[in-house]
């Protein structure tokens, strides 16, 4: 077996929703390294342009989409099939959420976040299933979270005025847990068509703004896992390459934690 060919995605079409975000951009860059044709899907052309260099954009494609809107998703896939002919890899990374404190959260915030986190995965997967069934192959990768598996440690991490604003809200983790179950469900449903469905659960990957404004909070996060550091976008490169490539043809229905060991404690 040629290991270089095992991870070579030349000729494969990959979509990364929210691909210009903190984690999404790392996934996009990893897929570029595997020689895939990569489509960055999102709502903001400006954010896409600001995230990737001119050289990177020469190798990328951007398409607008609202992953919470079924009509937008339908238009998106019609356009993709018209230009590229196929979809081999779908990374469901984008999400929409609102609300933070449980005490002050409205019912609308709760419903909006569930729709934006797990409802969007349902809509995107539903749209891509006929395409992947037709070609009898495909990779669907859902981006979950460690908080879909474990609960936040409020006492150690989120006490005090300087840290309380970073508290992970209850509906986010609950929706990510639902995503993990949906991943298992689709893995069973689509297995007969040679479509693998898996999830990645990142651990502490605070965005650059949080890192800059509160080093003390970052130190708390770092000390919460066995590797004693926060994650970097490039830490997701290996798992994205694995789950997108033939190397994962016998892996399906799994939620793989990339968290520095956070969830083993």
What residues does each domain of the chain span? 3-260
Classify domain 3-260 by CATH architecture: 3-Layer(aba) Sandwich (3.40)
Closest C-alpha to 93, from 162, 22, 161, 36 = 22
Q: Which H/E stretch holds residue 14?
A: strand 13-17
pLDDT digits (tens, 9 = 90+) for 94-136: 999 998 777 778 999 999 999 999 999 999 999 999 999 999 9
- Put simply, whether the predicted model's pTM sits higher than 0.95 gets the answer yes
Helices (H), 193-236: 208-213, 215-222
d(CA 222, CA 86): 41
Closest C-alpha to 185, from 134, 248, 240, 252 = 252
CB atoms within 10 A of CB 17: 26
Q: 13-17 and 138-143: which strand pairing?
A: unpaired
Q: What is the rounded average pLDDT for all residues in the chain?
A: 96
Closest C-alpha to 91, from 137, 142, 126 = 142
pLDDT digits (tens, 9 = 90+) for 10-30: 999 999 999 999 999 999 999
Token couple for 238:
């290996």
């Amino acid at each position: 077996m040629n290991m270089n060919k095992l991870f070579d995605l030349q000729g494969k079409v990959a979509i990364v929703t929210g691909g210009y975000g903190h984690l999404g951009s790392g996934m996009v860059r990893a897929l570029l390294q595997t020689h895939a044709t990569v489509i960055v899907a999102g709502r903001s052309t400006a954010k896409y342009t600001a995230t990737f260099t001119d050289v990177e954009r020469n190798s990328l494609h951007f398409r607008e989409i609202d992953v919470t809107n079924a009509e937008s998703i339908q238009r998106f896939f019609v356009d993709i099939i018209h230009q590229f002919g196929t979809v081999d890899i779908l990374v469901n990374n984008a999400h929409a959420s609102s609300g933070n404190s449980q005490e002050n959260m409205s019912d609308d915030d709760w419903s909006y976040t569930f729709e934006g986190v797990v409802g969007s995965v349902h809509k995107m997967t539903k749209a891509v299933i006929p395409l992947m069934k037709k070609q009898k192959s495909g990779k669907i990768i859902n981006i979950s979270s460690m908080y879909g598996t474990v609960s936040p440690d409020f006492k150690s991490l989120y006490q005090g005025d300087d840290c309380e604003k970073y508290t992970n809200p209850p509906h986010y983790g609950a929706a990510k847990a639902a995503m993990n179950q949906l991943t298992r469900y689709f893995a069973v449903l689509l297995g007969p068509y040679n479509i693998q469905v898996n999830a990645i659960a990142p651990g502490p990957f605070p965005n650059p703004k949080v890192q800059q404004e509160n080093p003390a909070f970052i130190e708390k996060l770092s000390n919460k896992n066995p590797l004693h550091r926060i994650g970097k976008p490039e830490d997701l490169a290996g798992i994205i390459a694995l789950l997108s490539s033939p190397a994962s043809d016998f892996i399906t229905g799994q939620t793989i934690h990339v968290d520095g060991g956070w969830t083993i404690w």
